[in-house]
A and B are shown apart, each in its own frame.
Chain A
Amino acid sequence: MQPPIDHRPGAQIYGRAVFPHAHLTGISGLQPHEILFLLDEAEQWIEANRTRAKSDRRLDGLTQINAFFENSTRTLLSFEIAGKRMGADVVNMHAAQSSVKKGETLIDTAVTLNAMRADVIVIRHMSSGAVQLIADKVDCPVLNAGDGSHEHPTQALLDALTIRRRRGAIAHQRVVICGDILHSRVARSNILALTALAAEVRVVAPSTLMPAAIEKMHVTPFTDFDAALEGADVVMMLRLQNERMSGAFIPSTREYHLNYGLTPARLARAKPDALVMHPGPMNRGVEITSSVADMPGRSAITEQVEMGVAVRMACLDVLTRRARGVEGWA
């Protein structure tokens, strides 16, 4: 098979790079064709990751800093693997062991990372808008790995890629997103990406976990999970954070499971071949039962993880093309 290529014909529109953005801070602000371009770029890495010797040296000599101000295992690992597979020197900075704890401001941290001549910075932060704040202060591309309740763009891209590969298309798919919509950056980025690509999106949550005016984002809100599931092509469950489970937003995990847990009986309301997704990590027995999470042919949960690496490779590749002087991107 062909080795992955750095850029393909059609990577330019009207003489400009098809993906003109310096950073990836969110799905908001991306055009549908730009989202599709990133998905197309990711496709090539899926096969490469599966079959050939997993080494590509295009990011050779570049320094990728993963600055994670909020704990994460899988997203951090995914970004680290993505960078290393393309030859980047990957450095992880954890908030727990950083000077952030000593009162250094976010801007000072950003300036410091910039002064170390990072070539790409991946950031996760607990405050909405924090990644944009850093992106405005540094010279290299910044990738948002999740900021507060705002956005988590690579998650939305990997979810869209999973849906496209498993369902054949994204347009006109009925996607049901169920869980803590109020606090979920995954939900927001997915809503933006899926509606941009013409999917029909339904969001399901108890009213205590549903943000105001969510219908302005062109989705249909439901409090009744069963009703929302009718005719669904994709059922995307969200993780319920521990601190929100006991009384503050919902009475108990038991009651949450009763109304919003994805069980085999409930899944039967969706289309017979409906896809089950979860961004992980799962609370088995709370938002999803193990039999559904592990259902062969229906659950795409491990595939999502695989797509995550491919999508993050594509994003790192695309965002560094200008600095690497790739033809058509300089």
Chain B
Amino acid sequence: MNLTFANARLVCPEAGARAGDLHVVDGRIASEAGEGAQVVDCRGRILAPALIDLGVFAMDKAACRAGGIARIGLMPDQSPVLDGPGLVQRAADMGKPELWVHPIAAATRGLAGESLAEFATNAEAGARAVSTGRAWIADSGVMRRVLAYARDCGLTVITHAEDGGLTGSAVATEGETATRLGLPAAPAIAEALAVARDIMLAEQTGAAIHFRQLTTAAAFDLVRAARARGVAVSCGITPAHLLLSDINVTDFRTFARLSPPLRDEHDRQAALAALGDGTIDVLCSGHDPQGPEEKRLPFADATPGMAGATTLLALGLGLVRDERITLQRLFAMLSRTPARLLGIAAGSLEPGMPADLVLVDPDAPWQIDADRMPGKAGNTPFDGLPVQGKALRLFKGGSEVG
């Protein structure tokens, strides 16, 4: 079906924001209206590329629909691990027709950090990147081979940056809060240590590396310096590490148990600065729904992770409202840059792009409610927070996702 979105406030990560109409012909964005186009009156609301959520742990259609997400980069930490072509292909087909699932294949077999998985075979089956998963690869020799081989295959390596030796069994960032609560804690430099090593290996091998989440001042400094040298390095962050700090785990709130753990206020401010100066490339949800059997436990026994897909857009719009970033840059972080890292043509309103679109009311007020979150679970550290901004309608390839 052909569509014309009229009276829209178009926000394109590439062309910028303008008021006007957008045409969709045969599921793609077109420069002119198609035959018999149905008109959608946007009433001045935002029409932007649908969100591409890079690095989620569960395929959660209801949460994605509510959050305006049309594509996800699915982490290999599934059961079983996405380390073979059959599993990758199955994952890629899993979301149809409402959701594009772009599998991120395991960099090592079983994510064990020992022997290389079949990068090229998995890419042919639909994998768009390779990843170390939730964990860090401790063996520098293995990590070097992962990066070198991924460069040959033209795949970005998505890593988790925490030195496992320093983190050990830690569940919090070292500091006053962890000390008062008596929680096993690791120093924040565990992140920068891992980043420093991986950047050096990426630089030496010429690989493209993406840190799924960076959260500390020292790590952002390393990324800035590497980028200045021309290293193909990028990084992401979730709203949690921009808006919350380790004091949010006071009272042992397991919904605030995340990986990496929440940092201190100094690092949070550094993350906001890195957001503002463009060091951070991707805003992702880190969507990892965990039910009460994983969360209603003593803090250290609870599984880390948060449900974030539903709240990603609203919290991102809050960053625009707070004048941390522009609307255009927000959608670059939410769609164009994740698309580029996954090597897919999407995340833009340019003619020829797939018509993955989200119609957004940026002002619609609502309250985040853990008990009523759409999707698999409501484990949000933002429970009770009033926010503004809702995805009113979501289109994937020109068809509305109901």
* A→B interface (CB under 8 Å): 28, 105-107, 125, 127-130, 132-133, 147-151, 183, 185, 188, 211-214, 216-217
Contact = CB atoms under 8 A, between A and B. Distances in A.
B339 interface: no
A128 B179 contact: no
Contacts of A106: 297-298
Contacts of B301: 127
Contacts of B299: 127-129
B300 A213 contact: no
Interface string B325-347: 00000000000000000000000
Given A106-B298, A212-B175, A212-B178, A128 B183 contact: yes
A105 B296 contact: yes
Q: Quick one: which of A149, A183, A185, A217 has the most chain B CB within 10 A? A: A149
A291 B185 CA distance: 37
B296 A148 contact: no
12 contacts: A125-B298, A127-B300, A128-B181, A128-B182, A129-B183, A132-B251, A133-B297, A212-B175, A212-B179, A213-B175, A217-B176, A217-B180
B185 A105 contact: no
A201 B178 CA distance: 20
A235 to B, nearest CB: 22
A129 B181 contact: yes
B184 to A, nearest CB: 8
A105 B174 CA distance: 28
Contacts of A148: 182-183, 298, 300
Interface of B: 174-176, 178-185, 187, 251-252, 293, 296-301
A149 B183 contact: yes
Contacts of A212: 174-176, 178-179, 185, 187
A128 B180 CA distance: 10
Contacts of B297: 105-107, 127, 133
Contacts of B180: 28, 188, 216-217
B174 A151 contact: no
B298 A211 contact: no
Instruction: Please provide the 6 A-B residue pairs with the shortest distance between their CB atoms, ordered closest to farther.
Output: A149-B182, A129-B252, A127-B298, A150-B182, A130-B298, A212-B174
A260 to B, nearest CB: 20
Q: Quick one: which of A28, A107, A150, A183 has the most chain B CB within 10 A? A: A150
Contacts of A149: 182-184
Contact of B181 (A125, A133, A150, A214): A150
Q: Quick one: which of A105, A127, A216 has the most chain B CB within 10 A? A: A127
A132 B296 contact: no
Nearest to B179: A211
Nearest to A216: B176
A29 to B, nearest CB: 10
A147 B301 CA distance: 13
Contacts of A211: 174, 178-179, 185
A185 B179 CA distance: 10
Given A129-B183, A211-B185, 20 more contacts: A105-B296, A106-B297, A128-B181, A128-B182, A129-B181, A129-B298, A129-B300, A132-B252, A133-B296, A133-B298, A147-B298, A148-B182, A149-B182, A149-B184, A151-B182, A185-B182, A211-B174, A212-B185, A212-B187, A217-B176
A128 B293 contact: no
Q: Quick one: which of A129, A149, A183, A188 has the most chain B CB within 10 A? A: A129
Contacts of B183: 128-129, 148-150
A212 B178 CA distance: 8
Contacts of B252: 128-129, 132-133
A185 B181 CA distance: 9
Q: Quick one: which of B175, B187, B301 has the most chain A CB within 10 A? A: B301
Contacts of B179: 211-214, 216-217
Nearest to B185: A212
A10 to B, nearest CB: 31
B65 to A, nearest CB: 31
A269 B283 CA distance: 58
A159 B297 CA distance: 31
A34 B322 CA distance: 43
B176 to A, nearest CB: 4
Given A188-B180, A217-B180, A128 B300 contact: yes
A185 B183 CA distance: 11
A158 to B, nearest CB: 19
B245 to A, nearest CB: 14
Nearest to A134: B298
Nearest to B298: A127
Q: Quick one: which of B185, B298, B301 has the most chain A CB within 10 A? A: B298
Given A132-B251, A150-B182, A212-B174, A105 B298 contact: no
A289 B301 CA distance: 37
Contact of B296 (A107, A128, A188): A107
Nearest to B172: A128
Contacts of B187: 212
Contact of B182 (A105, A188, A216): A188
Contacts of A214: 179
Nearest to A189: B182
A128 B298 contact: yes
A107 B185 CA distance: 25
A127 B175 CA distance: 19
A125 B251 CA distance: 16
Contacts of A133: 252, 296-298
Nearest to A152: B182
B147 to A, nearest CB: 33
B179 to A, nearest CB: 4
B252 to A, nearest CB: 3
Q: Quick one: which of A28, A107, A128, A188 has the most chain B CB within 10 A? A: A128
Nearest to B187: A212
